[in-house]
Structure 1
Amino acid sequence: MSIINRLIICILFVIYVNCEIIEYQGIENQSDLGTQWKNGALLNQTLASLQPYDELVFLNTTYYLMGGILANNIRDVIIHFEGTLIFSDDTKEWPRNGSGNVLECFQFMNFQNVTFTSSTVGLLDGQGEVWWGLLGYAEYHENRPRMLNMGNSSQILIENLYFKSSPYWTVWIWAVDGLEIRYSEISNRRNDYDGHDYWNLEAFNTDGFDVTGKNVWIHDCTVWNQDDCIAVKDWSENMLFERINASGLGLTIGSIGESSVRNITFRDCYMHKTYKGIYTKFRGSGIIENVLYENIVIFEPEQWGIFIGPAQQADNVDICLPNPCSLCWPELPFAKCNMPQNASYIDITLRNITVINPTERTGVIMGSETNPMQGVVFDGVVFQNPPSNYFVCENVQNGQAIGGTYPVPPCFNTDS
């Protein structure tokens, strides 16, 4: 619906509600530091003034602004991004709290029935390159701003937005009840290389869409990044992800620790030269249950086509330290990959999964010694030209390989 049509509707409703369309009055097309601070401050003031049924419009132009955009308790509002917002690349001037932690680009809390939209494609650029790389990680570690952090919210719609070059996680929406993201794109890459070489992978922690909560539907989106493309995190249920083009560290559930995740579906997705494909991971104890991956094509995955087990991650400058599975495993002989105790996979189904020409390895299926996987079914999970069988397959109780699954994981039963 166009802004003009919305204005007509607003006029029709004026008898009943106070409805206002507000154009953001920031300084256009100027990138100096002073302008960035002024535009950021004005946006904070504008968001704080919004009332139910208002609509905020960013015109089809470019605004440079400083991060630290904070808003709470907004409901029944539509925000239109018709142009481009570019966040500051001055890491030294970036706002921080009293503990020295950076503020997010956008930090929203307690939003209800809010839509973020564009009539074309709205561009949000985090200029993450200045935060990325080995030197960036050594200096900032994970003290880098997320592009959008939204918590304790409900009935949220995000559509027609392009998130580019986030310094850290791109979209982090937690404790949500009712979220739809559609027709949107995330791109966190250092050049146009068709894959994930070490240069690009040094854009550490640039997760795509990370979510917790319930009743989430993300569909018809594209993600190219250097960490989890989608990440379903702790205490999540009833989520559907479909028709997604993704390349990064996987269509992911996790990492999970001391919590439960259930009723999650990924389907009808394509992954081009992704680093990881299907990826579920525990960092500690917990439960992941009733999960379906269906109708997914993974073309030339560069590391693992399928990884079901522990979180392969690091939280230290020494990236080879296992937490619980080392990023250097299995390339380096001293690297360890540990599956947490009391971590339960229950009723996990992979159906109609095609992995084409995996570059290095096939996959990992690693259950917990204390809690072997239960109810795991591979139905039509086919690797074309696999370099080997599964690198690890252990602690699986009565795993079923049916529907022409190839290769059959060695710790599974077959349909023969």
Structure 2
Amino acid sequence: MIKFSEFLLYFWAIFICLTLNIGSELTSDCIVTEHSQLMNATENCLEIVVRDLTMPGGLTAHFHLKDGATVTFEGTTVFGYIQWPDWGYPLMHFKGNNVTVEGAPGSLFDGRGALYWDGIGDNGAPKPYFIHLQVNNSVFRNINLLNCPHHCTIINGSDGLTLTGWNIDCSYGDEHGGHNTDGFDVVSGNNIVIEDSTVINQDDCVAVNQGFNMSFSGLRCSGSHGLSLSVGFSNTSYYDNTVRNITYSNSTLTHSMTAIHIKTHNDGGPGEITDVTYEDISFTDVTKYAINIQQDYAKGRGTKEPKGNVPITDLKIRNIKGTLSSTSKGSMQVYILCAERACTEWNWSDVEVIGGAQNNSCNYTPDGYVC
């Protein structure tokens, strides 16, 4: 005969097992196959599956996630076309803390960029950028982006974010008007890691505007404008014009306009770039500059009037090797245009570049390199 205490223990064990099983099952409310299901899933589910979602044109897929949520994308997520009325809108927007977002094997995000491309990017009709990330202590992995209409990935106001195993493919834009298809843009962030990813596009592979403590490694860039810093957009905020402790390493570039690119904006307010390292970077068939650093940018172009509002200090460049295109008449190994006393403590070593149609142009000479 079973004692009452043993019965209670037996009943409690069964209850616990049933509860765990129920909690581990993915309910239908947490599987998103159409836009109308998205809000309910993000508001109520910790585990979400997005499967072959087609978004209507003109709408943003908002993933405002619960803390600790996991989102898995299966199949193809595709976005309907509409002529967007204004700039500044993404196709997808992620917000949350301690979230994990991943693409299942074979999954794809299709931005249908060819429907927007006009060959003039920023100067043409408004285009949505693809993904906007505002997340903390989160991981996004194995994400495959195809044909970004404009900038592919915007990181803004994130602290503790790792992107790994991404594949961004805008190669179709090479012959079909792709422009300003930046791979990763860090508008602002702290403790950002981007690693083991591929970018094929028509603008910066990675560009940092503001932030601290970032590492970019294992990148494979093709057709890009380089591994970039672009700083000094704000007229009023020193903080928004500050970049500190940034490392680009162990990466390759092919068929790019520039390999290493640092520019400050002379029409902005004060700021600083400090403690930046480029190391173990290789490149082939770069068409313009192996290393391009200038403090004279305004409205998207060089003005030949450098200004020291954003000084560049403690710049380390080491073990940089590559070739310039043999067919480019404007190619140059190194171009440096600094404002007076605005470039200090630069230490370079093992910079080996083959080719170049023009002689180097440097008004500042780093330690360890002869311009």
Per the TM superposition, whether the score is higher than 0.5 is yes
**Residue 233 (structure 1) aligns with:** 209
Please give the secondary structure, in 2, of the residue aligned with 1:132.
coil
| Residue type at the aligned position of 1:41 | S
* Structure 2 residue corresponding to 1:304, chosen from 278, 284, 289: 289
Amino acid at match of 2:129: R
Per-residue deviation, 1:276: 1.4
Partner residue in 1 for 2:130: 147
Of 79, 93, 96, the residue aligned with 1:107 is 93
The 10-residue stretch of structure 1 (216-225 or 360-369) with the greater mean CA deviation from structure 2: 360-369
Hey, what's the Cα distance between the residues in 2 that align with 1:15 and 1:83?
A: 29
Q: Does residue 370 of structure 2 align to residue 400 of structure 1? A: no
Relative to structure 1, is the Cα distance of residues 180 and 137 closer, same or farther in structure 2, using a 3 angstrom cutoff? Answer: closer
Q: Does residue 219 in structure 1 map to residue 195 in structure 2?
A: yes
Taking the TM superposition and a 5 Å limit, the aligned residue runs for 1:50-65 are 50=45, 54-59=46-51, 62-65=52-55
4+ runs deviating over 6 angstroms: none
- Cα contact 1:106–1:147 (8 A) shared by 2: yes
Query: Is residue 171 of structure 2 the alignment partner of residue 179 of structure 1?
Result: no
TM-score where L is the length of structure 2:
0.82
Match of 1:196 in 2: none
Given that 2:165 and 2:196 are in contact with CA atoms closer than 8 Å, whether structure 1 keeps it comes out as yes
Tell me, yes or no, if the aligned pair for 1:255 and 1:282 is still in contact at 8 Å: yes
SS in 1 for 2:39: helix
1:275 to 257, 268, 293: 257
3-state secondary structure, aligned to 1:174: strand
**1:72 alignment partner in structure 2:** 64
Q: Secondary structure of 1:41's match? A: helix
Write the letter of the residue equivalent to 1:213.
Answer: G
Deviation digits for residues 162-188 of structure 1 (CA, Å, limit 9, x no counterpart): 111111211111111111111111112
Counterpart contact for 2:31–2:41, Cα < 8 Å = no
| Pairing of 1:338-357 with structure 2 (within 5 A) | 338-357=305-324
**Partner of residue 35, structure 2:** 40
User: How far is the alpha carbon of 1:40 from its aligned partner?
Assistant: 2.6
Structure 1 gaps, min length 5: 1-10, 28-38, 194-198, 313-321, 327-335, 403-407, 410-416
Structure 1 distance, partners of 2:296, 2:226, is: 12
- Equivalent of 1:203 in 164, 174, 178: 178
Instruction: Tell me, yes or no, if structure 1 residue 252 matches structure 2 residue 234.
Output: no
One-letter identity of the residue aligned with 1:389:
N
Question: What is the RMSD of the two structures over their aligned residues, measured on CA atoms?
Answer: 2.7
Structure 1 position 17, deviation (Å): 10
Report the CA distance between 1:228 and its aligned residue: 1.2
Give CA deviations for 1:341-391 in whole Å, capped at 9, x if unaligned: 32201010110001213442223111123x43101122011111233331x
Give 1:158 shift.
0.9
Q: CA deviation at 1:217?
A: 1.2
Task: Describe how 1:307-318 pairs up with structure 2 within 5 A.
Answer: 307-310=292-295
Conserved in 2, the CA contact under 8 Å of 1:256 and 1:286? yes
Distance in 2 between residues matched to 1:158 and 1:84, nearest whole Å? 17
Deviations 1:270-303 (A, max 9, x none): 1011111111111234211111100111101012
TM-superposed CA distance for 1:15, in Å, is 5.0
- Would the aligned equivalents of 2:111 and 2:147 in 1 still touch at CA under 8 Å? yes
* Kept in 2: contact 1:81–1:122 (CA 8 A): yes
Secondary structure class of the residue paired with 1:75: coil
**CA deviation vs aligned residue, 1:68-122 (integer Å, no higher than 9, x gap):** 122435311111112110111232xx5x6xxx5564211233x101111133142
Which structure is larger by alpha-carbon Rg, 1 or 2? 2
Task: Give the Cα separation in 2 of the matches to 1:338 and 1:205.
Answer: 25
Q: How far 1:19 sits from its partner (Å)?
A: 5.5
User: Alignment partner for residue 110 of structure 2, among 118, 125, 133?
Assistant: 125
Question: For residues 149 and 255 of structure 1, what CA distance do their matches in structure 2 show?
Answer: 20
CA distance in structure 2 between the partners assigned to 1:217 and 1:339 by the alignment: 31
Partners of 1:262 and 1:271 lie apart in 2 by 24
Matching residue's letter, 1:48:
E
Does the aligned pair in 2 maintain the 1:44–1:69 contact within 8 Å? no
1:8-47 deviation per Cα after TM superposition (whole angstroms, max 9, x unaligned): xxx97955995652556566xxxxxxxxxxx333323432
Aligned residues: 338
Measure the CA separation in 1 of the matches of 2:77 and 2:334.
Answer: 40
Report if aligned partners of 1:126, 1:166 keep a CA contact under 8 Å in 2: yes
In the alignment, residue 218 of structure 2 is paired with which amino acid?
R
Given the two structures, how large is their TM-score scaled by the length of structure 1? 0.74
